[in-house]
Amino acid sequence: MEKPAFYSVLPANVRYDEHLKANEKILYSEITALCTKDGTCWASNNYFAKLYHVSTVSISTWINHLKKLGYVSVTFEYETGTKRIAKRIIGIKQNFNTPQRKVNGGVKENFKDPIKENFKENITSINNTSKSKKTNKEKPKQGGSGVRNDFEKLWKLYPNKKGKEKAFNFYQKALKHGVTNKQIQDGIVKYKHEIAYLKTDMRYIKHGSTWFNQSGWDDDYQTPEPRSSKQSELDRVIAIQKREDLIYNKCSEFGSIEKALPVIQETYPDITWEKADRIFHPERYLSRRGVENAN
């Protein structure tokens, strides 16, 4: 990653956008200072978190909000042949030569950028994040008890149940803008998978009202890479060995299979006396197999 430039850029429509928090505006400015000539930055959440002494969750939330409002684009590059993220690319989507619209009824300026060559929009980065095509043909519902019932089901699924009524209002707005119930449900499921994968502390899980307000279903979430067949086979072998060790140790501890079996079945209900005997006295079955083969 290149060192940040001495100057950063904070255009008027970002400066005076009432939907942005002060920290989000500062982060936008920092991103412009880190941008390469093609208008992209690949600094990690961890880099920004250390820079501003906040959590990586806060940084992720700020970037997603900037993305939602159309100020940045976010794409990912993956390691060859895997779904593991190698690099995140943040693109500046603001065209600094375009006259700015009025903000708060007073500010209107044609922002002439003295260092515009450093901030050309990376058009190709938008291709991977476009949401214009809708493959789901489910028609959004517009009101009534059906909408409330659908929301209640989503609310039961969401992991941090704070701000329920605000979340419901944002849910209704999303439906009016063409978002489907299934899109939101899939987003919650992906978010829960990321929480489990990263073992996110409860205090860092977004309140329900925040997640619905920020259109969390549009976010990109980290999920574990699918296990290879070799890894799955190794896991199976380890599990078998773990079970046999427990059976042998319990039989040794209690002195007999009869006494140990009830305890063993608390963990492995499918274990019978014969299965336990095969593990605790393997020599009996080896000798029997030898006789059968000789015959």
Residue 50 counted as domain residue: yes
Residue 135 counted as domain residue: no
Residue 144: what are its φ and ψ, rounded to 5°?
A: 95, 180
For the chain, the distance separating the N- and C-terminal CA atoms, rounded to the nearest angstrom, is 73
pLDDT tens for each residue of 75-108: 988 888 777 787 889 988 765 444 444 444 443 4
User: What pTM was estimated for this model as a whole?
Assistant: 0.35
Residue 224 counted as domain residue: no
CA angle 175, 179, 185 (to 5 degrees): 100
Looking at the fold, whether 52 and 122 belong to one and the same domain comes out as yes
> Alpha-carbon distance 77 to 10, whole Å?
27
pLDDT tens for each residue of 216-275: 999 988 877 666 666 677 778 888 899 999 999 999 999 999 999 999 998 888 899 999
Please check the confidence at residue 73 and state whether its pLDDT lies above 60. Answer: yes
> Alpha-carbon distance 75 to 89, whole Å?
5
Looking at the fold, whether 192 and 234 belong to one and the same domain comes out as no
Looking at the fold, whether 104 and 20 belong to one and the same domain comes out as yes
Question: What is the number of structural domains in the chain?
Answer: 3
Helix, strand or coil for residue 40? strand
Find the domain containing 90 and state its range: 12-129
Show which of 190, 218, 246 is a domain's final residue.
218
The answer to which of 39-48, 59-68, 111-120 has the lowest mean pLDDT is 111-120
Residue 1 counted as domain residue: no
Looking at the fold, whether 174 and 115 belong to one and the same domain comes out as no
Measured in whole angstroms, how far is the alpha carbon of residue 249 from the centre of its chain? 41
Residue 85: what are its φ and ψ, rounded to 5°?
A: -70, 125
Q: Which residues are bridge partners to 91 per DSSP?
A: 40, 73
Place of tokens 């890479």: 225
Looking at the fold, whether 89 and 168 belong to one and the same domain comes out as no
Looking at the fold, whether 21 and 122 belong to one and the same domain comes out as yes
Looking at the fold, whether 214 and 256 belong to one and the same domain comes out as no
Show which of 84, 99, 129 is a domain's final residue.
129
Helix, strand or coil for residue 204? helix
Show which of 102, 129, 156 is a domain's final residue.
129
pLDDT at 233: 77
Residue 81 counted as domain residue: yes
Helix, strand or coil for residue 74? strand
Looking at the fold, whether 17 and 112 belong to one and the same domain comes out as yes
pLDDT at 98: 41
Looking at the fold, whether 115 and 157 belong to one and the same domain comes out as no
Contact 125, 91 (CB under 8 A): yes
Residue 6 counted as domain residue: no
Looking at the fold, whether 38 and 100 belong to one and the same domain comes out as yes
Residue 139 counted as domain residue: no
Residue 107 counted as domain residue: yes
Looking at per-residue confidence, does 121 or 17 come out higher? 17
Q: Which domain CATH number covers 83?
A: 1.10.10.10
Please check the confidence at residue 145 and state whether its pLDDT lies above 80. Answer: no
Looking at the fold, whether 17 and 125 belong to one and the same domain comes out as yes
The secondary structure element, H or E, covering residue 107 is none
Distances in whole angstroms, Cα of residue 256 to Cα of each of 129, 130, 164, 270, 271: 63, 66, 57, 18, 15
Looking at the fold, whether 125 and 150 belong to one and the same domain comes out as no
